[in-house]
Amino acid sequence: MRFTLLKTDPQSNARRGRIETDHGTIETPIFMPVGTVGSVKGVYHRDLKSDIQAQIILGNTYHLYLRPGLDVLREAGGLHSFIGWDRPILTDSGGFQVFSLADSRKLTPEGCTFRSHIDGSAHSFTPENNVDTQRVIGADIIMALDECTPGDADRAYARKSLDLTKEWLKRGIARFDSTEPLYGYSQTFFPIIQGCVYPDMRAEAAEFVASFDREGYAIGGLSVGEPTEVMYEMIEVVHPILPKDRPRYLMGVGTPENLLEGIARGIDMFDCVMPTRNGRNGMLFTWEGRMNMRNRKWERDFSPIDPNGTSFVDTAYTKAYLRHLFIAGEMLAAQIASEHNLAFYLDVVSKARQHIEDGDFYQWKEAAVKKLQNRL
């Protein structure tokens, strides 16, 4: 993987860059649609490419390991071949999913044991077998196994958790560097910065991961219950420590305004389930603010869903029709809303790239964030 820093914003830490992988180029800043089990819920790959213009999607190691399983993925030739996607893929290590299974998992210095949410069967991830699993899945960018510390963890817990993540990282890097890709293209390994909401621990974690001189770095353990301003503070802590010539990935974040504020603080890559999850529940994001499509106010609004939108669904259907589909329980409602929201998120980062190139990102961002918070 190769990252080229093309331009920086004069009034913020926003960056315009380009990532080159064996499966294609990624223009940054970028938002990555989440395809947890090998599909972005309710959206055809055709539309992800042509209409939404997704340059990279995510898969999740925990879910793909359990189903369809490594034997199927290996026989298929990896996730790209299995799902028919020829652009880059990133896989999370599954650390967050294991964290969310607090009642059925156990952490040890060796790794973590957990029970499947599908059938209750027992499994374990170690830094080593997690790398092996992601080699079989075959993503272009794979993540280190870490513990995602709760946002409200006390200092003692955060200290213990960070020490565990650091030890796991050393072992994961050793395994990655001693093994080879399985399908004839290269893979990249990103360490993850933890440290909860404690600035000194975040700085320590950033310095630790930077010492390994990897091709990119992720910031994890944010947007997990801490106040938004604290999340921004943690990004600001690690920004000057991380190498400027490597991409920074903020995991699991967030709203459109979170994206813009993250970009202003030097973040290059984002992912979040929010555009599809909120879309399935009737919330649409637009440049004028958010719309709840179940509201009666849209019942006789025959204007396009979003006349300023970039997706074909924005002008093909009306607000009244989309509301009708939601009220009627039609699955098409979730598909339309998901496609709109994903296209909107990709439009947010596309416009951010353009304004960084134009040199007026900060002023544009300040005005955009105010509108994005409106409820229409």
Active site positions, annotated: 92, 271
The identity of residue 152, as a single letter, is D
For the chain, counts of helices (H) and of strands (E): 15, 17
**What is the C-alpha separation between 36 and 354, in angstroms, rounded?**
29
3-state secondary structure of 290: strand
**What is the C-alpha separation between 157 and 169, in angstroms, rounded?**
18
| Host H or E run for residue 248 | strand 248-250
The torsion defined by the Cα of 199, 143, 33 and 348, in degrees rounded to 10, comes to 40
Q: Is 339 exposed, middle or buried (0-12, 13-18, 19+ CB in 10 A)?
A: buried
Buried b (16+ CB within 10 A) or exposed e, 192-218: bbbbbbbeebbbbbbebbbeeebbbbb
Name the residue among 171, 169, 213, 207 with its Cα closest to residue 191. 169
Name the residue among 9, 13, 31 with its Cα closest to residue 354. 9
> Phi and psi at residue 253, in whole multiples of 5°?
-125, 135
Q: How far is CA 242 from CA 77, 182, 218, 248, 349, in A?
A: 35, 30, 10, 8, 22
**What is the C-alpha separation between 215 and 221, in angstroms, rounded?**
20
